[in-house]
Each structure stands twice: as structure tokens, then as C-alpha cells.
Structure 1
Amino acid sequence: MANPFSTIPSAPGAVPVLGHAPRLVRDPLGFLESLPALGDLVRVRLGPMRAVVVCGVELTDVVLRDDHVFDKGGPFGDRVREFAGDGLSSCPHHLHRRQRRLVQPAFHASRLPDYARVMAREAAAAAESWGDGEVLDVLPRLVAITSRIVAATMFSDTLSKAGLDQVLADTTVLLTGMYRRMMTPPILDNVPTPGNRAYRKATVRLRRSLHQIVVERRRSGVGDGSDNGDLLSALLAAQDPQTRGRSTDVELTDQLITFFIAGAETAASTLAWALHVLATDAEVQARVRAEAAGILGTRVAAGHDTTTGRLITETMRRWPPVWMFTRTTTMATELGGHEIPADTAVIISPHLVHHRPDRYPDPHRFDLDRWTSAPTPRSPYLPFGGGPRKCVATTFALTEIGIVLAAITTRWHIEAVPGTEVKAGPAATLRPRGLRLRLTAHPSTTDLPSQRQAENPTHPEPESV
């Protein structure tokens, strides 16, 4: 017989009314890393909400594999749904399989070469616009690159520069406010604070902007067999092989928001951390640069047989962009020998799993040699989630990150700026705060092969946004 929920060990440090929310705001990573010492399951309170943090690797796998019992929801999932609706990453189980079937064709391997050409073009243009000796505020520059890549691969030339800037500004407001709202009781959502007003305004405007793109593209006849080579064309054309139905305009809007935020924000965070590593290790930077021409030539995701591939893998272990997310139990169940009531928030943390010393010795040390082969069950790896809800765009993201790294390191040597301190800033994603890097031009970056390929592609490319 399973033990009662009350016998699960409780995390120390809860305060009246707010529970453990203050600890998750002040030092969330340290708090999460402290929990495995208490057990494979640990109870926490977020205000009045009961929740359990899954610390055991095997139990984490159980939760991720059974998305019928452990459905999308809880404080993270519910907040994402506020602006992304029932997109692929946030929809409940009963909608997910149909959504996945409709979205899968947009990420088919046959479409990736066209997306990769856009990635190479946008990354090269951005890298070329930087100046020798310039000191970069890194994260905003990378968000600008990845957002342009995502916009161009999603809707070709549909979104103007002003429109893209507004979409990017709105997503920044939402991602900044989402973690704060996770730790705030829902009863306070309608209090007219500046943060709540900005969040609601950004939600409405972002949904309206992307919905209008869907409506105009459908009105133009795209989806009747024509193909612009972008994600939206594939989504409009997709039919569910089981029901023969297509996505509605609202569903497409949800997907565009989901993919824009995931493709721009999480890729930029990973790239920023990777550049932080390269700026502090000249030898690794030289090895990555030596591989850049090959990556820009093939435009495929770097494998574990390359320094670039291992750099990306270890970066996403050490600083997983989505460092915590939640599920909710749809029924009473058993987990780890304990009863878990229905409507319990279940917290999964890739950061926690990636920093278990029994799975990753000396977990805070950045070590490329961990990845001479692909991850195994012994080395659990969750930057893209797991189970049936694993990210559908994993190959897209890894290709994008590798191409952008190659475009930057081909042209620039990067160095840390003395006197700056880089810290992890947990919000909706795990961002590096205070990251500033100095650029020095490599002497052999005039008329690069990668630039010639981008300027004279084998196949016609979508117009720049």
C-alpha cells in the first residue's frame, strides 16, 4: 500500500501564507539543488497550492512518460497557457496527439535545409554588422538574431521590421512577467499593478498580431497546395491523417506564439551561455572556429564527434533554458511509493536533474568530455523535455544554435570584459545576467565561403523580413 502524501518529506524554510515561494524567488537554483538530499519526492508550498518536486531521475522519467496522469498544468503550465493558449507545448493531453500530428510535417527533415539556409543568411548578416573592438551586451544581440531567424522561417517576409520589434518586445514582457506570476496567487492577477497591465496588454497585442498573419495568409490562398517554404505554409497545409481535419486560425495562432518564443528565447539563452564559455577558454574557441566552415557548408546540427556539438550539449546541461516546469495530476495516483492526490502540482526541474552529482560528477564544472557519446539513461538529459511531450523542434533548434555559433566564431574572436560578473538569472528561461563580450576581427574574414553561399544560394530563399 502506498504511503500517504503527508509522509513525503517537506522542504524546510516555508513562511506563512507564501510557503516556499520566497525561496524560489531569491535563490531558486540553490533551493532546487538542495532538495534531493531530502528524498526522491519533496513537498513544497507555493502560497496555498500544494506541490511536489520530483528529484529522482527514474521518477522524473515516469512523470514525463505518462502525460495522461501527469498532464500539462500547474503554475508554469497555466501561466504559459495565458498567452500561448493550447499550443503544442501547453495544450492538455486530450488535444496533444492531434496537435502533434498537425505540426510534425512543418519540422520534417525535408524542410530543414530551407530553414537552415535562412539561419545561415540571418546569422551571417548579424555577425557582419558588428564592429571590431565592440563590446556586446550579448543576450539582446542574440535575441535579435534568433528572433529574425524564427520570424523568417515561420512566415518569410510577412512580418515587417517594426512588426517584429513589437512582437519581440511583447514576448520579453511576457517571459519577464511569467515567472513572477508563477509565484503570485492567481487572486492577485487582476490587481491593476503596472506589471499586470503590461502583461495583459502584451498578451492581447501579441495574439492579435500573429492571428492577423494567419488570417491574411489563409485569405491569400496559401494552404491550398502552394508553399512559401516556411513553417506557416506547412501548418496551413497540414491535414490530420486520422480525421483529415486542419488547424483552425486560433490553433495556428497558438502554435506561432509557441514556436516564436521557444525558437527565439531558448536558443538565444543557450547561445549566450556558449559564448560565455568560449570567451573564457581560448583553446575550445579555436576548435569551434576550426569546425565552423564545415557547419556552415553542411548546415546540419553538429554531432557529438565535434567540439561544437559537445559544447552545445554541455551548455544545455549546465544551463538548461527551460530550467523548471510543472505538470498536474488528473487523478489520484501513486509515485515513488506515495499517494499523490488529484490536482497536485508536480514540479520537474531539468536543472535539478542535470546537477545531481550521482549522475554528473562535479556537476558545476563545465566539461566537454562528458559527451564523447550521446546521453544515456545513466546521464539523464532534459533540455528539450522527454516522453511524448518532448520538443518537436529539437533538430531545428540544434541546427540553429550550431549555425549561429559558426557564423560568429568564423568572423570574431571573443573575450570576456574584465571586471564583469556573469550570473544565472532564472526567469521563464535561464538567462546569463551581466554578460558582455569584446569582439576582435579575425584577419581572414573577407569574402567568406559561408557568405557567398548565403548571398548566392542554390535554391531561391525567402525574402528577408
Structure 2
Amino acid sequence: MKTVSQSVPRAPGALPLLGHLWPLWRDPLAFVTGLRATGELVRVDIGTMPIYFVTSAELANDVMVRRARSFEKGRLYDRMRPALGSGLATAPTEVHRRHRRLMQPMFHHAKVAQYAETLTEHAQGLADSLEPGRTVPLLEVTTEYSIGTLMATMFSISTDAGRHAAEVVQRRMPVMFKYMLLRPLMPKLLDRLPIPANRAFDAANAEISAVVYEVISAARAQGDHDEPNLLSMLLAARDADTGEALTDEEVHNELMTLFVAGVDTVAAILSWAFHEIATHPEVEERLLEEIDTVVGGPSSARAVSFEDIPKLEYTRQVIDETMRLHAVTMLMRRTVEPVEIGGATVPAGAEFGISLYGIHRDPGVFEDPTRFDPDRWLPERRRDLPREAYLLFGAGARKCIGDTVALTQLVITLATVLRTRRLRPVPGKAPAEAVSAMPQPVGLSMTVEARSS
């Protein structure tokens, strides 16, 4: 086996001292997608620091599943930890294992069914707020909706502390999203400089963090942890081996992580889904026919229920295809021991990058990969895909714990809104993909139309 320096090709376009920072800054999504042409394992230099990108689903599975014990969370999560704490997304392996064991019951099928009532109520509120004839900035609308829905499932917003927290998070979370992915690419020494990005991020993070602690304190004082929300369950959770509860700091860290993971994903996917549906009339026609058959047409008074979700098969295909095409920009891992992977021996301490966005556009796996085609996810076609190619929520022990809740919300929201509304693209204003945890459709405005009975 060759050493890493002998066998891993370097991505083209590196500059002295800067490495690949310029092409990453100029067009990061095109850059990570183009790495596959260089190889399955490709060296990318961030300044003088090498990051080894795996560009195939097979090697991504090696890192996240088959050889997961040889990896820990990498630089991206180290740089996010000061802001979010050690929640599930950023925690070291031992903390992650303990917290995931404590939190897994909160995402059981029966609990998701309970959350569905709240999700349906908020989805109907979103549909009602989309007034026919208006042109709306869709990402702003879906972000506000995602924050409000997540707040309602996380803790009671009927209390003074809950209402204050909801107002702060609605106002400040978009600021955190704007600057969050810039930090891992910046040299650490710049973190403390009073540049505008740092000031804006730190102020937003501090304000959100403070109100989360307020809500936790109020919930502990109230003492009733039987309410069907995530905060109550976090406070009531006990380790099966030791009987220990989570500290206030640990509860805070998990709530902050859920904010970031839940809001960014749902808002981006909903916005892209409405855009893709509107620009593919044949998809829209099939989708509306399914929704009308399962739930009822525009004149039906029945709300979408949790029991409807398995019947909304094409709706789920549309969501899966949206998530494939507009997938997570970057995950990172770090080797904790020497690893043989992709034909190379990589030493301990090496940083690995995994772009699900790039992997899901691999023409060797997905035919015509940039085309929006929900039928890719028909059972008979899905069977032809390698098992490891389905990475919409990651894989292995670090797979997103809230995947079922997210999919439930996405299906309920699409079915609820499209039952009575159609969203039409504004001519000449195609959205641009901006880098965030998931690519954001910047400049996406859509005009609301009412569906006739």
C-alpha cells in the first residue's frame, strides 16, 4: 500500500500558500462536484492544510459506516463546537454515544405520530398565510415557518420564557446561518478579530444561547416534564446504566444543535421542492393527483394526518429527489489511527471531507444526475442503486437522529400547502445556490395562486 503522499491525487487549481481556497470561495458547489473527475480520494488544500475528499458513495460508506471506529468528527465540528456546544452533531464519540442512547426514544415512531399533530397545525397555518396574488420571498417564508414549527415541538411557547425565546430565535437564527460555514474555512486566529462576520455571528449566538438557558430554567422550575415536547423529554431522560440526567449545559447544547439541524434542512428542502415542482409541470400534475386522491381536493376540510404519509408515495419521491439534488454541502471526519482507504494509507490526524452534494451528482451512480427525476426513487429503480448511494441523512452511527421527523414534516407540509395553493415561479428570476449546511435558493420569489375546486 502506497503512502498518502504517493497515491492521492491533488485537485487542480491550487495556488501557493492559499491552496484551493480561491476556487472553494468562488464556487464551492461546482468545486466539490468536480472533484470526482480527479479520483475517488482527492487531496484539497485549505491554505497549507490538506483535506482528503472522498468523492464516491462507496468510500463515503467506508468512512461513515464500515471503518467508522477509525474516525472522529473533524475540523468543521471543532470550529462549530464553541457556538453549539457538544450536541449530537458536534460531540466527541463517547458523549455522542451516551446522548444518542438517551435521546433515541424521543424519535420513536409513536413520538413522531404525536409531533405530527403540531406539524399539521403549523403546515395549515403556512398554507393560510400564502395569500393568492401575492409574490413571496420563499426562503424567508419557509425559514420562519421552520423555526416556528421547531419551537412548538421543542418546548411550550405559551409561557413567557417560551414566547420570548421564539421571538429571539425567529429574529437571530438567520444571522447565525449566514456566517456559520464561513468559520471552518477561516484561520482560527481570525476568530477573535472584530470583523463584521464575527461580530454578527457572536452576537446572534449569544442572544439565542441566553434565551435557551432561560427556557430550560423555567421548565426546571415548573417541574412538569410530562408534556409531549423535546425539552420536557430531555429533562426527564435518565441514563439506563447510571440513572444520571442531562445537565442544563447538555440540554442547552442539544437544543442548539436541533435548531441548526432542523431549521436549515427543512427550510431549504421545502423551498427547493416548491421550485422544482413548479418548474416541472408533469411532476406537479402527478403530485396534485396523489394529494387529491389521498387527502381530498381544495374543497376538502380534512387535514393531512400521520396515517396519510405511507400513502403519499409520490410526494415522498419528490422529497427524496429534492434532497438528492440539493444535498448537504459538507461533512467532515478525522482519522484517529492510520487507515487504509481508497488505495492509500492515511495517517492518524488526517482531515476528511465528504460532500453529499457532490456524491449525489455522480454520473456513475445516477443517470443524468442534474435532472430532477422523482421516479429514480421508485422501488424497482431504487433496488438497482448501490445501498450506500442513499445518503440523504448521512449514514452509520452519526446518521441524523431526526430524519423521520424531518421527512414527516416535509410530506405533511407539501401535501397541506399544495392541496389549496399553487406556487408559480417569477419569470426571469431563477434562484442561485448559496452555500449553507444545505444549499440555499437565494432570490427565489414565487407567486401564490389558489387551486380551484
- Give me the TM-score of the superposition, normalised by structure 1: 0.90
1:404 aligns with 2:404: no
Q: Counterparts of 1:180 and 1:136 in 2: how far apart (Å)?
A: 28
Trace 1:278-317 onto structure 2 (pairs within 5 A).
278-292=277-291, 294=294, 296-299=303-306, 302-303=309-310, 306-317=313-324
Q: What fraction of aligned residue pairs are identical, expressed as a percent?
A: 36
Distance 1:377 1:15, change over 3 A: same
Aligned to 1:145: 145
What residue in structure 1 maps to residue 58 of structure 2?
58
Structure 2 counterpart of 1:69: 70
C-alpha distance in structure 2 between counterparts of 1:138 and 1:416, whole Å: 10
Q: Counterpart of 1:442?
A: 451
Structure-2 residue corresponding to 1:180? 182
Distance in 2 separating the partners of 1:169 and 1:221: 29
CA distance in 1, matches of 2:231, 2:164: 20
Alpha-carbon distance between aligned partners in 1 of 2:271 and 2:231, rounded to the nearest angstrom: 28
5+ unaligned residues in a row in structure 1: which ranges?
A: 445-465
- How many angstroms does 1:303 deviate by? 4.8
Partner residue in 2 for 1:89: 89
Equivalent residue, structure 1, for 2:298:
none
Residue of 174, 197, 200 corresponding to 2:199: 197
AA partner of residue 57 (structure 2): V
Quick one: distance in 1 between partners of 2:37 and 2:387? 19
Q: Distance in 2 between matches of 1:251 and 1:117?
A: 28
Q: Does the CA contact (< 8 Å) of 1:126 and 1:145 recur in 2?
A: yes
Deviations 1:310-355 (CA, angstroms, capped at 9, x unpaired): 10000000011x2211111122222222121222110011011101
Q: Structure 1 pair 304/378, CA: closer, same or farther in 2 (3 Å)? A: farther
Taking the aligned partners of 1:357 and 1:303, their CA distance within structure 2 comes to: 30
CA distance in 1, matches of 2:152, 2:62: 37
Cα distance, 1:177 vs structure 2: 0.8
Q: Which residue of 2 aligns with 1:215?
A: 217
- Describe the superposition over 1:97-135 as per-residue Cα deviations: whole angstroms up to 9, x where unpaired: 101011111111111122111011111112112211111
> Is residue 368 from structure 1 mapped to residue 374 from structure 2 by the alignment?
yes
| 1:241 alignment partner in structure 2 | 240
Cα deviation, 1:181-211, whole Å, max 9, x if unaligned, reads 2221111111111211111112222211112
Q: Name the SS for the 1:413 alignment partner.
A: strand
> Compared with structure 1, are the counterparts of its residues 102 and 378 closer, same or farther at alpha carbon in structure 2 (3 Å cutoff)?
closer
Contact 2:62 2:68 in 1 (8 A): no
Q: Distance in 2 between matches of 1:243 and 1:104?
A: 17
Cα drift, residue 264 of structure 1: 1.5
Kept in 2: contact 1:414–1:438 (CA 8 A): yes
Whole-Å Cα distance in 2 between the matches of residues 300 and 218 of structure 1? 34
Distance 1:92 1:137 in 2: 38
What root-mean-square deviation, in Å, do the aligned CA atoms of Structure 1 and Structure 2 show?
A: 1.9
Q: Could you tell me whether the CA contact under 8 Å between 1:301 and 1:399 is conserved in 2?
A: no
Partner of 1:455: none
State the Cα deviation string for residues 287-307 of structure 1 (Å, max 9, x = none): 323333636443258459722
TM-score by length of 2: 0.92
Q: Paired residue for 1:423?
A: 432
Please give the alpha-carbon distance, in whole angstroms, between the structure 2 residues aligned to 1:78 and 1:165: 29
Deviations 1:236-292 (A, max 9, x none): 111122222221111111111111221111111000000001111233223323333
- Is the 1:105–1:235 Cα contact (8 Å) retained in structure 2? no
Q: 2:403 aligns with which of 374, 394, 405?
A: 394
Structure 2: how far apart are the matches of 1:4 and 1:276? 43
Give me the whole-angstrom Cα distance separating, in 2, the residues matched to 1:111 and 1:156. 16
List runs of 5+ in structure 2 lacking aligned partners: 296-302
SS at match of 1:334: strand
Q: For the residues of structure 2 that align with 1:189 and 1:54, how far apart are their CA atoms?
A: 28
Structure 2 distance, partners of 1:304, 1:41, is 40
CA contact (8 A) 2:317 2:378 kept: yes
Letter paired with 2:433: A
